[in-house]
């Protein structure tokens, strides 16, 4: 059977030749490096294929498909982590292999072609990392890749065009993902496979050229004009006894052990964060958000590019083209010419020096870059914010499922995320609110707005003139009618009046229907009913100035639905409307002045989110 197969395919003969080919210089641990590269590539091909069976490139589906794999598929997180960490070891192994070739002198004849192929493998590996990073379509992968691809625009004349070709249009989106996926799993992976095959062929040939007769063409045989003798197909026992080691098993067992070692390292890294919880494997991050207002400020390239990232910082403006394109280009050319330089001792020494210098330079620069970030509070803050965002989106996705418009919709419709963001960007210049401090407090503190304690403070003669209410910086209301009314009417209350005021506060606060007060509002229904009457017709005189359920004057803001989402959305939309402050509005901008959302400062949806955030109305996972 085997005989028949060999007759038709020659497979056994080929294996024999491979297995029994003697190795020049014998077997050794350094010689496991190319096999290690091959192994990691195989790991990547295998894990990558299975990842691919779950992956869906697209702005609304890339992150979502990875999330699904990571959280719903048995072992999916491990698959992804293994692919990630194996991908990180690939440049290390290819780099080590290159360094080994330079330092052992085996980049020179007869190994020139092997050396060149290794250089191309290094380039291919970097390309695989660069394209693979984007595919998760998380905030970091999007922002970091965005900058790296934008480097193309530094090339004069052709830059903008190259950028568009790479990205698939004027900006990142669906087509960037389809392109990067095709490059990653097609062109670059295929290229890497081809390079590995060529590497094997060229290495065999280089070994063969170096081996003394009768195994090869004689040491250092350039083979000019002379016909190569037939390679020895098998070694006789006596030849093996003469100390010539062969691939099988002398090198093969070393290779296999190294493979196991690498696998152990990959698994250890993948299991570093445990097997449970959202941190297991590698973090996914939050989905890529193309809104420039949500730009991820802590975007950094992967560690392998960190040295280059730091180096580029030393070249201002357009000079960035030098560290990014000119110097790497020149270095690549020098490396390609190394076998030629290395023909004499001085050249070989130069090659050694250059390689050693490059390795240490990259190490030092990477270290500097990480040090810089570690000391940058803005960077840590951005990292933390991104962590929170990632945790929140996963919480929402788990509880609600991902809508067809993608996971980003979950965050856009989440008051805790979107409302807080809008508040930070548009309100926190003047207002403090629920843990977000005002930059320069020139408006009332909105923490707990419309809750019973907040209203009790507002209607307290001791507090209404404080900075938290109407006593803020440059307030025109400090000496206004409301303050005067509270100071005058509510200063010396007897016990009955105090009780009435309490009921009034309960009733006004109940207008907001705050989620945190749902229980006490239900419990105090009777008092609230009494309080409503006090507001509408009581001796406190609310309706002298305020409208309340169809009664009262329109001087101050309407009290019907006070603090409800609708009320807050309306007052932030236009505080100077008749329903609220009218012409007496202080500096509060109208965020939705017109009916056309594109002409307003904010979308109605964002105002609603902010209102709900202020009200503490957002999804909380059940413990």
Partner 1 sequence: MTPPTDSRRGFLGRAIALLAGGTALLAPAVWGSIAFLNPLRLKGRSGGFRRLASLDQLPEDGTPLRLTILDERTDAWTRYPIDAVGAVFVRRTGKDRVEALQVTCPHLGCSIVYQAAPGGGAFLCPCHQAHFDLNGKRIDLPSQSPRDMDALEVEIRNRNEVWVKYQTFASGTAKKIATS
Give residues in contact with partner 1 (CB under 8 A): 59-60, 143, 146-147, 150-151, 153-154, 156, 159-161, 164-165, 167-171, 173-175, 290-293, 295, 297-299, 312-313, 316-318, 320, 378, 382, 425-426, 429, 439-440, 587, 589-590, 593, 597-599, 601, 603
Q: Which is nearer to partner 1, 264 or 378 (CB)?
A: 378
CB 617 within 8 A of CB 565: yes
User: Cβ of residue 319: shortest distance to partner 1, in angstroms?
Assistant: 8
**201-222 as b/e, with b when 16 or more CB fall inside 10 Å?**
ebbbbbbbbbbeeebbbbeebe
CB 150 within 8 A of CB 163: yes
User: Cβ of residue 312: shortest distance to partner 1, in angstroms?
Assistant: 8
Q: Which is nearer to partner 1, 276 or 291 (CB)?
A: 291
Q: What is the DSSP string of 86-139?
A: HHHHHHHHHHHHHHHHHHTTTTSTT-HHHHHHHHHHHHHHHHHHHHHHHHT-BH
User: Cβ of residue 589: shortest distance to partner 1, in angstroms?
Assistant: 4
Around Cβ 115, how many Cβ atoms within 10 Å?
23
Q: Which is nearer to partner 1, 222 or 440 (CB)?
A: 440
Q: What is the three-class DSSP state of 551?
A: strand
Q: Which is nearer to partner 1, 221 or 301 (CB)?
A: 301
User: Cβ of residue 479: shortest distance to partner 1, in angstroms?
Assistant: 22
Q: Which is nearer to partner 1, 171 or 333 (CB)?
A: 171
For residue 489, CA distances in Å to 4, 497, 541, 587 come to: 109, 11, 9, 28
User: Cβ of residue 175: shortest distance to partner 1, in angstroms?
Assistant: 5
Q: What is the three-class DSSP state of 292?
A: helix
CB neighbour class for 375 (10 Å; exposed up to 12, middle 13-18, buried from 19): exposed
Q: Which is nearer to partner 1, 102 or 393 (CB)?
A: 393
User: Cβ of residue 427: shortest distance to partner 1, in angstroms?
Assistant: 12
Cis status, amide bond into 249, omega within 30 of 0: yes
User: Cβ of residue 573: shortest distance to partner 1, in angstroms?
Assistant: 12
User: Cβ of residue 193: shortest distance to partner 1, in angstroms?
Assistant: 20
Q: Which is nearer to partner 1, 401 or 404 (CB)?
A: 404
Helix (DSSP H) and strand (DSSP E) numbers for the chain: 26, 0
Q: Which is nearer to partner 1, 11 or 194 (CB)?
A: 194
User: Cβ of residue 111: shortest distance to partner 1, in angstroms?
Assistant: 32
Q: What is the three-class DSSP state of 433?
A: strand
Q: Measure the CA dihedral 10/16/17/23, to 10°.
A: 160
Give the residues across from 551 on adjacent strands.
548
Q: How far is CA 150 from the centre of its chain?
A: 17
CB 286 within 8 A of CB 138: yes
CB neighbour class for 68 (10 Å; exposed up to 12, middle 13-18, buried from 19): middle
Q: Which is nearer to partner 1, 317 or 401 (CB)?
A: 317
Q: What angle do CA 592, 598, 602 make, to 5 degrees?
A: 40
Residue the block writes with tokens 């939705």: 592
User: Cβ of residue 388: shortest distance to partner 1, in angstroms?
Assistant: 18
Q: What angle do CA 274, 280, 282 make, to 5 degrees?
A: 130
Q: Which is nearer to partner 1, 160 or 279 (CB)?
A: 160
């Amino acid at each position: 059977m085997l005989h028949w197969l060999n007759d038709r395919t020659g497979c056994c003969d080929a294996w024999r030749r491979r297995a029994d080919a003697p190795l020049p210089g014998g077997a050794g641990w350094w010689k496991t490096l190319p096999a290690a590269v091959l192994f990691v590539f195989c790991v990547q091909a295998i894990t990558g294929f299975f990842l691919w069976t779950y992956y869906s490139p697209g702005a609304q589906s890339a992150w979502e498909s990875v999330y699904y794999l990571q959280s719903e598929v048995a072992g999916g997180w491990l698959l992804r982590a293994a692919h990630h960490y194996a991908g990180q070891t690939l440049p290390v192994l290819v780099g080590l292999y290159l360094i080994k070739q330079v330092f052992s002198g085996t980049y020179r004849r007869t190994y020139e072609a092997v050396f060149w192929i290794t250089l191309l493998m290094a380039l291919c590996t970097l390309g695989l990392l660069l394209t693979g990073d984007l595919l998760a379509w998380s905030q970091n992968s999007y922002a970091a890749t965005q900058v790296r691809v934008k480097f193309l625009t530094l090339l004069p004349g052709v830059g903008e065009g190259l950028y568009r070709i790479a990205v698939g249009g004027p900006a990142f989106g669906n087509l960037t993902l389809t392109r990067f996926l095709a490059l990653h799993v097609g062109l670059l992976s295929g290229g890497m496979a081809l390079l590995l095959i060529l590497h094997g062929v060229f290495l065999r040939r280089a070994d063969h050229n170096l081996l003394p007769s009768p195994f090869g063409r004689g040491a250092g045989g350039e083979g000019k004009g002379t016909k190569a003798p037939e390679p020895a197909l098998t070694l006789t026992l006596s030849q093996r006894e003469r100390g010539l080691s062969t691939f099988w098993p002398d090198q093969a067992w070393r290779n296999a052990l190294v493979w196991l070692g690498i696998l152990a390292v990959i698994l250890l890294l993948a299991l570093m964060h445990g097997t449970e919880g959202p941190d297991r494997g590698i973090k996914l991050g939050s989905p890529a958000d193309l809104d420039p207002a949500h730009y991820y400020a802590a975007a950094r390239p992967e560690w392998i590019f960190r040295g280059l990232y730091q180096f580029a910082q030393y070249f201002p403006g357009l000079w960035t083209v030098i560290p990014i394109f000119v110097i790497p280009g020149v270095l690549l050319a020098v490396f390609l010419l190394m076998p030629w330089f290395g023909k004499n001792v001085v050249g070989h020494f130069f090659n050694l020096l250059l390689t050693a210098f490059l390795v240490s330079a990259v190490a030092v620069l990477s270290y500097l870059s990480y040090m810089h970030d570690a000391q940058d509070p803005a960077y840590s803050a951005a990292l933390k914010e991104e962590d929170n965002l990632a945790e929140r989106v996963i919480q929402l996705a788990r509880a609600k499922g991902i809508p067809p418009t993608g996971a980003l919709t979950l965050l856009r419709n989440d008051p805790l995320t979107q409302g807080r963001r809008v508040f930070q960007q548009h309100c926190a210049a003047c207002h403090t609110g629920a843990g977000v401090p005002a930059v320069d407090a020139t408006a009332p503190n909105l923490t707990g707005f419309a809750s019973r304690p907040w209203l009790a403070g507002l209607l307290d003669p001791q507090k209404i003139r404080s900075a938290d209410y109407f006593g803020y910086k440059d307030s025109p209301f400090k000496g206004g009618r409301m303050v005067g009314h509270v100071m005058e009417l509510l200063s010396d209350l007897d016990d009955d009046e105090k009780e009435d005021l309490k009921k009034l506060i309960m009733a006004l606060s109940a207008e907001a229907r705050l989620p945190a007060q749902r229980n006490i509002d239900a419990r105090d229904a009777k008092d609230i009913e009494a309080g409503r009457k006090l507001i509408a017709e009581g001796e406190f005189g609310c309706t002298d100035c305020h409208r309340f359920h169809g009664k009262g004057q329109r001087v101050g803001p309407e009290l019907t639905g006070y603090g409800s989402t609708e009320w807050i959305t309306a007052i932030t939309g236009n505080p100077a409307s008749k329903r609220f402050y009218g012409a007496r509005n202080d500096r509060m901008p109208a965020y939705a002045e017109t009916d056309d959302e594109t002409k307003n400062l904010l979308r109605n949806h964002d105002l609603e989110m902010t209102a709900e955030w202020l009200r503490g109305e957002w999804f909380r996972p059940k413990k």
